[in-house]
Amino acid sequence: MNHRKIIISLVIYLCITGSLFAQSNWTSLFNCKNLKGWKQMNGTAKYEVKDGVIIGTSKFGTTNSFLVTEKNYGDFILEFEFRVSDRLNSGVQFRSESKPDYNNGQVHGYQYEIDPSDRAWSGGIYDEGRRSWLYPMTKNPEARTAFKANEWNKARVEAVGKSIKTFLNGTLCADLLDDLTLSGFIALQVHQVKDPKNEGLTVAWRNIRICTQNIDKEQIIIKSPIFQVNGIDNTISEPEARQGWKLLFDGKTTNGWKGAKPGDFPSKVFVVDHGIIKIHKAEVNSGGIITEKKFKNFELLVDFKITDGANSGIKYFVNRDEKTGDYYNVGCEYQVLDDLLHPDAKLGVKGNRKLGSLYDLIAAPEDKSYRPKAFNHARIVVKGNKVEHWLNDIKIVEYERNTQMWQALVNYSKFAEIPNFGNASEGNILLQDHGDEVWFKNIKIKEL
């Protein structure tokens, strides 16, 4: 028997006996001989077993392909090893589903990202076919070096209740709280390729095992916590509370808010519905609602969803005159707009009235990471005079107030006649009513 046959026999033996790390709490998901216990869904990329390894090969002209477990899993620890071609994106689905009434059976759910590109987001958590990125590696940039190009990498997913943690080669990559799906199948993805030159690229998996019993005894003790993303609507997690985060919307009431115009709260326009503040269409513009409290240095998070053709905004440094009611909705504005269908997108200067822009002053990039017909994540950071706008974890605008350049921008805008526009040291936060239906949730603030 030659050396190669000896090695293959050893690999198969180790698979059958549960791998080198076999323990009573663990079960192998792959027998190293064939694809028994798995089935293919969606795309038509090729899956085969060679030398005790599952190999997926990219195919031009097909959608994402998935090799899916026949069983579903709820709470578990999943481990696997993978090796991927430089130009092929991939991933491993978990707690995922395929339903006839959801995009014609499209596989959707949580995905452990496999990303050999320069972006280096391997170990991040993507929501395939639903909400896009839940934990991009911008949240934990130190872990981007954990991936080993052209080598075998060891991945781990701990999914216990609402807590999801991912690891890559022993490095903690992502820490997510989320409860949208608590059970589902596991699947190996071969990503679609849009360039025929990328047909034939491969991703390989081996030593795929799962622990579903005595999970607490197998979990890794985290000695150095990383940033945690809380995906549970309108809640503050323990780490967020320790960091000083507070809710500006409790998901049930409009406590802490008042009408931007002096007078009664516009309750017919701003309605709380299933954990969402919905601005209803109305013939009379209410002007919006503002926080009862003023804020100075802060980080503000808001999830928003734009209905077709809608216009709204998130304003800050709003300071209305309490005697006259003037300037009730005047402030720096993170523009919320349907760029394709609302005419305001074509006004202003060089796109400075489009989504994410500092309205009428500074334009956001055209190639924004916007998610149509879904919730998007806005982040506004104010540290003294320096301000940043973020959209879906990507910074799109930054500027500095109280400077000559700032004043020049103001002088060339619709705010030129407003005294000291944008220079106040503090102000209210406002959700703008522009007569269109827009939704808001997960409104949180941390004072700096």
259-269 per-position pLDDT tens digit = 999 989 999 99
pLDDT at position 284: 75
CB 31 within 8 A of CB 18: no
pLDDT at position 438: 97
Percent pLDDT > 70 in the chain is: 95
The span from the CA of 110 to the CA of 157, in Å, is: 11
Nearest of 29, 33, 50, 30 to residue 203 by alpha carbon = 50
Kindly state the average pLDDT of the residues 301-315: 97
Average pLDDT of the chain, as a whole number = 94
Question: In sequence order, what DSSP letters do the residues of 108-148 get, joined into one string?
Answer: EEEEEEE--STT--TT-EEEETTTEEEE-TTSSGGGGG---
The span from the CA of 114 to the CA of 121, in Å, is: 7
| Domain limits, CATH 2.60.120.560, in the chain | 3-228, 238-447
The per-residue pLDDT for range 43-92, each reduced to its tens digit, is 999 999 999 999 999 999 999 999 999 999 999 999 999 999 999 999 99
Kindly state the average pLDDT of the residues 277-297: 92
CB 359 within 8 A of CB 342: no
Dihedral angle of Cα 67, 68, 69, 70, to the nearest 10 degrees? -120
DSSP class of residue 237? Answer: -
pLDDT at position 6: 46
pLDDT at position 35: 98
Q: Which CATH class is domain 238-447?
A: mainly beta
Residue 330 confidence class, pLDDT cut points 50, 70, 90: very high
SS3 320: coil
Residue 7 confidence class, pLDDT cut points 50, 70, 90: very low
Fold of 3-228: Jelly Rolls (2.60.120)
pLDDT at position 353: 98
The per-residue pLDDT for range 21-46, each reduced to its tens digit, is 445 799 999 999 999 999 999 999 99
> Which pair of structure tokens corresponds to residue 399?
């500027």
pLDDT at position 322: 87
Write down the residue that tokens 């998130």 correspond to.
Answer: 314
pLDDT at position 75: 98
pLDDT at position 201: 98
Residue 95 confidence class, pLDDT cut points 50, 70, 90: very high
Residue 311 confidence class, pLDDT cut points 50, 70, 90: very high
pLDDT at position 307: 96
Confidence check: pLDDT of 17 > 80: no
Residues 6+ apart with CB under 8 A from 351: 345, 357, 363, 364, 366
By the 10 Å C-beta count (0-12 exposed, 13-18 middle, 19+ buried), 175 is classed as buried
Kindly state the average pLDDT of the residues 5-15: 50
Confidence check: pLDDT of 115 > 80: yes
The per-residue pLDDT for range 139-195, each reduced to its tens digit, is 999 999 999 999 999 999 999 999 999 999 999 999 999 999 999 999 999 999 999
pLDDT at position 323: 86
pLDDT at position 2: 56
Confidence check: pLDDT of 400 > 60: yes
Residue 283 confidence class, pLDDT cut points 50, 70, 90: confident
